[in-house]
Structure 1
């Protein structure tokens, strides 16, 4: 039976790579994002190989989340796999110099957005007594680093929510897992540095970072284990990275 996956943040990076890999494996897709043109392009591309529908909304806006999910076509309403991928980082400042708007953006999307989407989809999984939730965290949710403060806090929250979800949903036969990547070469740093592309490029120079496709491959591996197997917490670094602060550049 064809499975249906709901992917937030599907228009770039890990979300897009996951959508492409799922499509190749004939998983029905609900692709979510804020950028309409990218959603339309992705739907046109992937609908050639699997069933696809798209939802344009901001995960940080509770009413938009609820309305969008309620609007799903009937054949897409039964969600088997939820990939909570939408997230962002804004700025890299000390706590005393931090921008409060940046703090709000990170907490609203990384924490509240994950909660809003999960809240809308979990009841149906409970009714089915099955489902799989994958929360995309970060190694920043395992250890803090200088100037990471609020971003790290938001990802520590994802780590805690993942563990709590697994406890609360255990009796409903729902699998819950988190994947925590280290340095992945995506648009992440472009956003963090507010469009300063040259500065963003320096983050990934001098070593081989993870690629979005690497994480997508891991996500697909996790969801395709036999149902009695739940890989509950997985940390992934590029070989050059040993921790948040130890990176072997110029190898």
Structure 2
């Protein structure tokens, strides 16, 4: 039975991925900051789910916890780097610098540190799968996307470079790049708890759901071992890249 570690497991994509992988017969380690939500999930998912409370930005704590994993949840075969966030939608010249730093610490530093901790074991066993949750924001620029988009562009390029470093080894890497997804706390967090503002993002839109992303992860991990999806971009039918804009002189 393969063992997966999913970060950001307490809600949204992470929770849906945990549910789907458990249903598929995997053992799943669900990691997140909110222990109460993780425990509720553990009560629902049973003995094949191990809740781990940690913040991916706290490097020392992450290392300590990983060293203490029960034997039945070792080794980790699948790492799903899902933890991430967007904060603010202001133009760069009005943005809150602390928001920028938090996005970099979570979306970049946390992701690469966890990868750095787990990848050597995969290489030693010549087996594993790393799935990173990027975003279409890493490809298409939009107003207010500034550091969030840049952090997801990093994830995209980091995933591609991992593939290069792992050439010749039986370790797969995929960057999932979702577009507009509802049913998560993404916009509520971006707008610092302003639920009314967050709701306007999804009004009258048939958006991608966390279950859609979880089903994509399920398909990926169940493809043959010789088969690698380098990246997969997923948008709702209601969304498309809008093309270039021109500002006319007035």
CA shift, 1:173, in A, is: 1.7
CA–CA separation in structure 2 for the residues paired with 1:89 and 1:127: 35
Indicate conservation of the 8 Å contact 2:170/2:225, yes or no.
no
Check whether the contact 2:128–2:172 (CA below 8 A) recurs between aligned residues. yes
What is the distance in 2 between the residues matched to 1:67 and 1:160?
A: 28
Measured after TM superposition, the shift of residue 244 of structure 1 is 6.4
Alignment match, 1:106: 103
Matched, 1:169 2:166: yes
Q: Distance in 1 between matches of 2:101 and 2:25?
A: 37
Match of 1:242 in 2: 240
- Cα displacement string for residues 40-99 of structure 1 (whole angstroms, at most 9, x for unaligned residues): 11111101xx51212111101111111111111111121111100000000111111111
Q: Deviation per CA, 1:173-221, whole angstroms, max 9, x where unpaired?
A: 2100111000011110000000000000000011101100001101111
Measure how far apart 1:170 and its partner are: 2.0
Is the partner of 2:28 in helix, strand or coil?
A: strand
Deviations 1:113-140 (A, max 9, x none): 1011111110110111010000010000
C-alpha separation in 2, matches of 1:65 and 1:35: 15
Partner in structure 2 of residue 54 of structure 1: 51
- Equivalent residue number for residue 158 of structure 1: 155
Q: How does 1:62-73 map onto structure 2 within 5 Å?
A: 62-73=59-70
Alignment partners' CA distance in 2, 1:164 and 1:244: 28
Unaligned runs of 5+ in 1: 247-251
SS of equivalent residue, structure 1 residue 6 = strand
Aligned-partner Cα distance in 1 for 2:129–2:9: 18
* 1:31 equivalent in alignment to 2:30: yes
Q: Which runs of 4+ in 1 moved over 3 A?
A: none
Q: Distance in 2 between matches of 1:120 and 1:72?
A: 13
Residue of structure 2 in register with 1:140 after alignment: 137
Deviation of the 1:245 alpha carbon: 7.7
TM-score of the two chains, using structure 2 as the length reference: 0.95
Query: Residue 140 of structure 1 aligns to a residue in which SS?
Result: helix
The alignment status of 1:118 with 2:115, answered yes or no, reads: yes
Counterpart mapping for 1:171-190 below 5 A? 171-185=168-182, 186-190=184-188
Structure-1-length-normalised TM-score: 0.94
CA-based RMSD of the aligned residues comes to 1.2
1:249 maps to none
Which of 73, 95, 106 is 1:76 aligned to? 73
- Give the gaps of 5 or more residues in structure 2: 245-250
